[in-house]
Chain A
Amino acid sequence: MIKSVFLGTFAAAGLAAGVAGAATLDDVKANDVLKCGISTGLAGFSAPDANGVWQGFDVAVCRAVAAAVLGDSNKIEFVPLTTQTRFTALGSGEIDLLSRNTTWTFTRDVDLKQTFVGVNYYDGQGFMIRKDMGVGSATELDGATVCIQTGTTTELNLSDYFRVNNMDYDPVPIETNNEAIQQYQAGACDVYTTDASGLAATRATFEDAEAHMILPEIISKEPLGPVVRHGDDQWADIVRWTLNALIAAEEYGVTSANLEKMAEGTDNPEINRLLGNEGNLGEMLGLDAEFARRAIAVAGNYGEIFASNIGEGTPIGLARGLNAQWTQGGLMYSPPFR
């Protein structure tokens, strides 16, 4: 008798564990909320506004997915994560989606078993320093004290770069961007290094932004994108194609201004499929036909999201560069909606 109780418990636990690992979509729908992991605060990417509402380029991905899946871009529980806690939070199911300047690398994809669904910002690692330090190039940084966030690709690139260039440095490990700003502004480190977009965003928040410069060297490739748990292909597809919908919308000229009109039907079948007028792409995903329409309705297409959060019209002032559409000489390229 005891034996069968034992086996029964085993089986039940095994089943429970197995079920918990599967269908994220069902969980999100059942909870009626999307748990989205974001950074602890980086202006333009994810930061609370004056009303305490999370805003930004990375937050926009969360909002688009929530709109596509739940029909409401506010049904989100934001979970601010440091660079050290992000993957554990995703792996343990604490969040459904990680949208937090996370670089797609081989090890993270293959060995850490994360699923990267695409790239929403092509970036590279740079250095920021005070202008009055009189340094014009990263090759003059021998002996400098460098602030870095731990648990990042940043610290690995930094180590490689200084070793290859036969230079010494003194790393000051830091948990969050805000701590890094404190240390850097107090002069406890000479240089702050992270993704160039992060540097621009950080510099924009400085009162004396003019006194700081970003050195010309970009020492790595940092394709940043949303990440989901390994092993749930349907959920990965949903996030991937929501992101693609935002990118494709820009390519085809679907904007928040003309979305309503375009949704009534156009003579471009690709747009019709994207917005759910033709075919049944939404159903194939396990959603409805209008998922992309709702995602675009939140804050417009990829270009609009870029422009309003981090673009040249904002204090952060990032140029599109690599992040322009492929038709404009950039790398943003959505596979066809077909």
Chain B
Amino acid sequence: MSTVVDDGRQSFRPSMLLYDTRYRSLTIQVVAAILIALGMSWLLWNVVQNLAAQGKDFSFGFLGQRAGYDINQQLIDYNSNSSHARAALVGILNTLLVAFLGCVLATILGVIAGVLRLSNNWLVARMMTVYVEGFRNVPLLLWIIAIFALMAEGMPQPRDFREGGDASMVLDSVAITNRGIYLPMPVWGPGSGVLLAVFAASLAAIWAFRRYAHKRQEATGEILPVLGVSLALFFLPAIVFYFILGGPVSLSYPELKGFNFGGGLHLRNSLIALWLALSLYTGAFIAEIVRGGILAISKGQSEAAFALGLRPRRTMSLVVLPQALRVIIPPLISQYLNLTKNSSLAIAVGYMDARATLGGITINQTGRELEGMFLLGLFYLVLSLLISGVMNIYNASIKLKER
């Protein structure tokens, strides 16, 4: 017994590491791991050496220092006495804002264009083809700059709105200028909290009603008027309570004051250009994904639905789209990720996103390129992982439930 084991040990020769299939893959993996580790440590070593040669260290202390610069679009309180960390946060929120607005609009545009491209109406289908091909095949950067230039060069200046000037506000409440668009902004007076609560309750009621209607249809086959009831629930309670509470929400209108408009909501050129360009561009890709998703569902499915007497719209929403979604969602995730990362093209129009604050001015004023870029990379990584995580959960929820 023991001799057998001894034999096995003695028969091991170093060359077996290469020629014996039992060991070979292990050998390759160990060698590869060592090479990668060497490469990484070489890079790291070089960084440390070069930093030392320049007399710099690696530290995040700068985040706590006074930023000293102003940011024109702030979703949270910020002034030049705030810290660099706060400035980074302002930029991050601006990135999130444009990414969110962009994803929403791109999805709406994409779904509409994708469905209409399959329309039987020749003109509509061709128009959508022109949209898709036009936006997909021209670099995003050009669209951003084109829209920005159109706004800056083509729109009137605020001072043209003065008495005797040749520009005037749309409906006396919206000013389209070469510095952006000024809109009336709701002012939340006392009691508006109640109104918001009522509105939230309406939304919950709509959701509950749709569920109930669905269950009932499954059980009895009876169809309830979902759309009408939903619309009524959406508007009526809020309007009734608005008057009961004595109009707690009022609008603040933009007004020309000195150099610029004051009051109201200011959508900057940079935001508009970036938002529209990102949405139109990504929308064109989403349109193709939606079209592909719909075409992937075999024709037999709709024919079967028609044979059962379902009308075309119901066939689309009950039979085709639920199945198409499974094909659409995974590539859609990539498009959302692309849009989010492409938002860093904000640099072209001076939109103050995370790249511009943390990855731009802060780096420049503190000389912390390495640390700043590291944090910026980390931010985009975490954001992308979050988006794909959420979308994957959604994807799992609409997966074919097999028994």
Contacts and interface: CB of A to CB of B under 8 A. Distances in A.
Contacts of A151: 360-361, 364-365
A144 B259 contact: yes
Given A14-B45, A150-B356, A172-B350, A142 B258 contact: yes
B152 A155 contact: no
Interface in A103-144: 107-108, 111-113, 133, 141-144
A313 interface: no
B46 interface: yes
Contact of A17 (B49, B157, B260, B369): B49
A155 B361 contact: yes
A187 interface: yes
Given A143-B259, A145-B259, A186-B153, A150 B361 contact: yes
Nearest to B154: A186
Interface string B57-75: 0000000000011111000
A21 B364 CA distance: 22
Interface stretch (B34-42, B222-230, B387-395): B34-42
Given A17-B46, A171-B70, A87 B364 contact: yes
Nearest to B356: A173
B56 A113 contact: yes
Contacts of A9: 38, 42
A164 to B, nearest CB: 11
A150 B364 contact: yes
Contacts of A133: 159
Most central of B34, B68, B80, B365 by chain A CB within 10 Å: B365
B54 A173 contact: no
Nearest to A170: B72
Contacts of A143: 257-260, 262
Contacts of A231: 53-55
Interface in A143-198: 143-145, 150-151, 155-156, 158-160, 163, 169-175, 182-183, 186-190
A141 B260 CA distance: 11
B70 A155 contact: yes
Contact of B367 (A13, A87, A141): A87
A328 interface: no
Nearest to B266: A170
A326 interface: no
Contacts of A87: 364, 367
Contacts of A88: 369
B352 interface: yes
Given A2-B34, A18-B49, A171-B70, A83 B54 contact: no
A206 interface: no
A128 to B, nearest CB: 15
A173 B45 contact: no
B375 interface: no
B50 interface: yes
B178 interface: yes
Contacts of B257: 143
A159 B68 contact: yes
A188 B179 contact: yes
B61 to A, nearest CB: 11
B365 A156 contact: yes
B347 interface: yes
B269 interface: yes
Contacts of A107: 365-367
Contacts of B364: 83-84, 87, 150-151
A141 B257 CA distance: 12
B372 to A, nearest CB: 11
Given A186-B178, A231-B55, A156 B260 contact: no
A13 B45 contact: yes
A171 B80 CA distance: 12
Given A145-B259, A183-B152, A186-B153, A156 B54 contact: no
A252 interface: no
Contact of B179 (A14, A145, A158): A145
Nearest to B55: A113
A18 B53 contact: yes
Nearest to A229: B54
A143 B266 CA distance: 14
A20 B50 CA distance: 9
Nearest to A130: B159
Name, among A20, A144, A188, the residue most crowded by chain B CB atoms within 10 Å (CB to CB).
A188
Contacts of B152: 182-183, 186, 188
Nearest to B352: A173
Interface string B247-262: 0000000000111101
A112 B260 contact: no
Contact of A159 (B70, B157, B258, B369): B70
Listed from nearest, the 6 A-B pairs whose CB atoms lie closest are: A21-B53, A151-B364, A112-B367, A17-B49, A187-B157, A159-B80
18 contacts: A9-B38, A17-B46, A18-B53, A21-B49, A107-B365, A143-B262, A145-B260, A150-B356, A150-B361, A151-B360, A169-B70, A170-B72, A171-B71, A183-B152, A229-B54, A230-B54, A230-B55, A231-B54
Interface of A: 2, 5-6, 9-10, 13-14, 16-18, 20-21, 83-84, 87-88, 91, 107-108, 111-113, 133, 141-145, 150-151, 155-156, 158-160, 163, 169-175, 182-183, 186-190, 229-231
Interface of B: 34, 38, 41-42, 45-46, 49-50, 53-56, 68-72, 79-80, 152-153, 157, 159, 178-179, 257-260, 262, 269, 347, 350, 352, 356, 360-361, 364-367, 369
Given A13-B42, A188-B152, A188-B178, 7 more contacts: A14-B49, A20-B50, A91-B367, A150-B361, A151-B364, A190-B259, A230-B55
